[in-house]
A and B are shown apart, each in its own frame.
Chain A
Amino acid sequence: MEYVVEVKNLTHYYGKKLVYENLNFNIKKGSIFGLLGKNGTGKTTTINILNGFLKPTEGHCLMFGEDSYKLSPKTKARVGFLIEGHIQYSFMNILQIEKFYSQFYPNWRKEPYWELMAKLKVTEDQKISKMSCGQRSQVALGLLLAQNPDLLILDDYSMGLDAGYRRLFIDYLSEYAKAEGKTIFITSHIIQDLENFLDDCVIIDYNSVLVTMPIKEFQEKFKQYKFDTPNSELTLQKNDVVRNFENIKGHASIYTFSELYEVEEHLKKINVPYNNLRLESMTLEDAFIGITGKY
């Protein structure tokens, strides 16, 4: 198996504050990998480590076999990088920025960039600083596609974007990158758009790694069981069976990787009064909220 990115035993602290420990994952060539987590769980930290902008406390990352701490210019040319918030050189206009970047990348193809700019209906001398967040996202995406990299690293592409621009972003990624077998590493805290887009994922929470698996496997194995209970104050400890628990006025939900009979056995074992225990279908977003919790 050829891996484009290998993350091994990654642990990071900011001072004494633990971000996460022992994060491990590999990104297969041509796959779309999502690093998912709520705000502040360490997604951007991981991206910064991956791009060599942060030295991890422990562990290491390899990108195309090179230590991310000291990437060669050749490897950097193979990596397209979207900074959180679609940050670009805002003092340039859309013509200047295309002219600037095109000088650095041998595989530069300007067509997708100008195709996206045509959709924005902006003039060539439109300064990026005068654009809306949605328009800036299209400039950043157009530049990435024009760079034509083998690996795209997209840090919270959804930040500040309304539903239309988020969809447009994913559609273009699918059209240009997925169709051409590019590897994509994407982080997001908005999950709904990624449902049919991701191949593999890691879900991280504050200080911990919750899930590392193919997205289809996660959707198949992670379940929500609902039941009614007379105890409206019921709380359950998290363990191997109960990955998360909610109880709103006696309407309870268990989020779990276990089967129905295992959940039933567990409830009986801890003497929880329940009735109408049933499997509830979930979208990817429901499953994400289920495993990370609402708070």
Chain B
Amino acid sequence: MHLLELQENIKMYKAIVYKEWLKVRWAYLAMFVLIILILTYIWLMLSKQMEFNDAKALWGVIIFRKYKFFNDIQYIPLLIGTVIGTVQYAPETSQSRLKLTLHLPVKENKILMQMLLTGFLLIAVLYAVITIYLTAITSSYFPREIVYDMLTTILPWLLGGTAAYFTCAAVFVEPVWSRRIVLLIFSIAFLSLLYIEGDHSFSSILLLTILTFLFPFWSLLTGYHFKRGIQ
């Protein structure tokens, strides 16, 4: 690829990022504030528990009774994925505004993937904030094993939020209602796998991660349906 062409591509991608940001910014900031509030609440509650209870007893409850002091965050990634997906894609598909985007001088699949990548990176930053904040809280009170347990517990939740985001993108772009419903049923079934109580093994997490990142291909398919006016 020529340098000039690369510069043009970067310029266009930056414009796509700009457009996506304009759509999601207020919802995004609201989600950011929400997670900071919830994580701070978790931290304060934990520090209070540590202050008034015996630390060793609390460790025991966490290890043997599987007590999750961070449980309040469980459905927040799902909420983030759904809200960001909705505010990003609803304006595109109302009044078939996506036609404007697909008419831009960029290959259609490329522009759909760029939109998806932008949204994914934005929610990934929020998920990184959750992960880093929770890791900081957990590691300040507990040993490495509990931090590891916490991370393997929240990872399926984060995957759930990611899958919810990809589902929103695909559902909004899909022009046929019956296909939308099938897509939703499939996604809900997949999400329920992620929210099953109990420990996920490394191999199951790996499989769930791979399956989550197959969702964007569904967006390509629904984009194709939209592009070809399939009814």
Contact = CB atoms under 8 A, between A and B. Distances in A.
A and B bound?
yes
A89 B91 contact: yes
Contacts of B228: 53-55
Interface stretch (B9-17, B116-124, B144-152, B184-192): B9-17
A77 B227 contact: no
Given A53-B227, A100-B15, A103-B15, A87 B100 contact: yes
Interface residues of A, number: 28
B18 A87 contact: no
Given A54-B228, A87-B96, A90-B91, A76 B104 contact: yes
Nearest to A54: B229
Interface in B70-106: 91, 95-97, 99-100, 102-106
Nearest to A15: B231
A261 interface: no
A182 to B, nearest CB: 17
B103 A51 contact: yes
Interface string A60-94: 00000000000001101101010101011111100
Given A85-B95, A89-B100, A99-B18, A77 B229 contact: no
Interface in B173-231: 227-229, 231
A92 B22 contact: yes
A51 B99 contact: yes
Contacts of B11: 103
A14 interface: yes
A98 to B, nearest CB: 11
Nearest to B102: A53
B99 A83 contact: yes
Size range of the chain B interface in the assembly: 20 to 34
Contact of B22 (A14, A53, A74, A91): A91
Given A53-B229, A87-B97, A105 B105 contact: yes
Contacts of A208: none
B27 to A, nearest CB: 12
A57 B220 CA distance: 23
Contacts of A74: 105
Interface string B45-87: 0000000000000000000000000000000000000000000
Contacts of A96: 18, 22
B213 to A, nearest CB: 27
A294 to B, nearest CB: 30
A129 B90 CA distance: 14
Question: Most B CB atoms within 10 A — which of A74, A76, A77?
Answer: A76
Contacts of A48: 229
Contacts of B100: 81, 83, 87-89
A219 B106 CA distance: 42
Nearest to B8: A106
A14 B12 contact: no
Contacts of B19: 89, 92, 100
Question: Most B CB atoms within 10 A — which of A83, A85, A104?
Answer: A104
B72 to A, nearest CB: 32
A249 B12 CA distance: 64
Q: Top 10 A-B pairs ranked by shortest CB distance?
A: A54-B229, A103-B15, A77-B105, A73-B105, A76-B105, A81-B103, A87-B95, A55-B228, A103-B11, A104-B104
Given A96-B18, A104-B15, 17 more contacts: A53-B229, A54-B228, A54-B229, A76-B104, A81-B100, A83-B95, A87-B95, A87-B99, A89-B19, A90-B91, A90-B97, A92-B22, A96-B22, A103-B12, A103-B15, A104-B12, A104-B104
